[in-house]
Amino acid sequence: MSDPSSDFLAADWGTSNLRAWRLSAEGKVLDVRRFPWGVAHLQPGEAARKLKDEVRPALQAQELPAILCGMVGSAMGIAAAPYADCPAGGAELAKNLFKVDDLTAIVPGLRCTRPDGYLDVIRGEETKVLGWLALDAKRASGDHVLCLPGTHGKWVLVRDGRIHHFMTCMSGELFALLNEHSVLKTGAAPSDEASFAEGLEFGAADGPLASRLFTVRARMVGQGLEGGKAASYLSGLLIGDETAHLPPLLGLRAGSVIGLMGEPALCDLYAPALKAQGLTVEMADGEAAVIAGLTSLRKQGAKA
């Protein structure tokens, strides 16, 4: 990449939103903008046009080098940046930065073999994890597990400073689909803590989730469970199932420490669910992590 001592443009461009920063060479935020332009809602070629005509001018970054992460590096975005293989750390990601043009590079996604033997992929969260590592030198050794909730939540095992493997859980997308387009449709957003807590408890139980999910419908028509309460119960079922059954697959047991990083509202839902499994939750700042990750990769990319 170009001169690593200059300011640069950094962006986390996902399926639903875009956050962009003008950063100093050392990662200090000089300006920031947020745009409602998730790549899932853009036409082919539109992401590249918006980067050039709107994002760069908004941050006075028309001639600055840029490094982007997230789904902008998929076929829905500017270009499909190839996946790198796990285990991978900053060096592997920097070596595989996808160069769009002389000024712009995209962080590659990662692929791994999950603990259960199946393939998984990640795009965007790897940069947050790298930044989380960069923010504390003590994290460079040993095993650490991070939970990054979202539409497609990621559970990541870091070993000696490198992403070893991860697992994806589609709880966020399932909630949206079931709550808006299925027989479980509530017509409301979650709004009741007691119903959410009840869902968490039943979600963590053994047995087929597909059967437990139908209890939302049964309670709506058989007990009059309405609106926000039904949505809260559904949310609790999905998050309870995820947080009960994913941690053991990554080697976590009662008393283990897990990092939690994501949107504050989502983390507020996941934290009690993780604590209910006997885990010690350490909150992490996702925005600080992605800025640190992009800054680190820019520096390493200049040397690659």
The helix or strand, by DSSP H or E, that contains position 180, with its residue range, turns out to be helix 171-181
- How high is the pLDDT of residue 4? 73
pLDDT band at 302; cut points 50, 70, 90? low
Rounded Cα distance between 157 and 258, Å, is 10
Q: What is the DSSP letter of 88?
A: B
Tokens coding 263: 């949107």
Longest Cα–Cα distance in the chain? 66
Distance CA 268, CA 218 (A): 27
Q: How far apart are CA 293 and CA 142, in angstroms?
A: 19
**Is the pTM here over 0.85, yes or no?**
yes
Average pLDDT over residues 40-46: 94
How far apart, in whole angstroms, are the C-alpha atoms of residue 110 and residue 108?
A: 7
Q: Give the architecture (CATH level 2) of 8-139+289-303.
A: 2-Layer Sandwich (3.30)
Q: Residues 264-289: what's their mean pLDDT? A: 97
Amino acid at 79: A
Give residue limits of the domains in the chain.
8-139+289-303, 169-284
| pLDDT tens track for 252-268 | 999 999 999 999 999 99
Please report which confidence band the pLDDT of residue 304 belongs to, taking 50, 70 and 90 as the band edges: low
- The alpha carbons of the chain give a radius of gyration, in whole angstroms, of 20
Is the pLDDT at 67 greater than 80? The verdict is yes
Residue found under tokens 């559970």: 155
Nearest CA among 110, 17, 153, 8 for reference residue 72 = 17
202-248, pLDDT tens digit by residue? 999 999 999 999 999 999 999 999 999 999 999 999 999 999 999 99
Instruction: Using pLDDT thresholds of 50, 70 and 90, give the confidence band for residue 269.
Output: very high
Q: What pLDDT sits at residue 234?
A: 98
CATH number of 169-284: 3.30.420.310
- What element of type H or E holds 290? helix 286-303
Cβ neighbours around 127 below 10 Å, total: 29
Indicate if the pLDDT at residue 303 is higher than 80.
no
- The per-residue pLDDT for 301 is 82
pLDDT in tens, 156-192: 999 999 999 999 999 999 999 999 999 999 989 999 9
Could you tell me what percent of the chain has a pLDDT over 70? 98
Helices (H) and strands (E) in the chain, counts: 10, 14
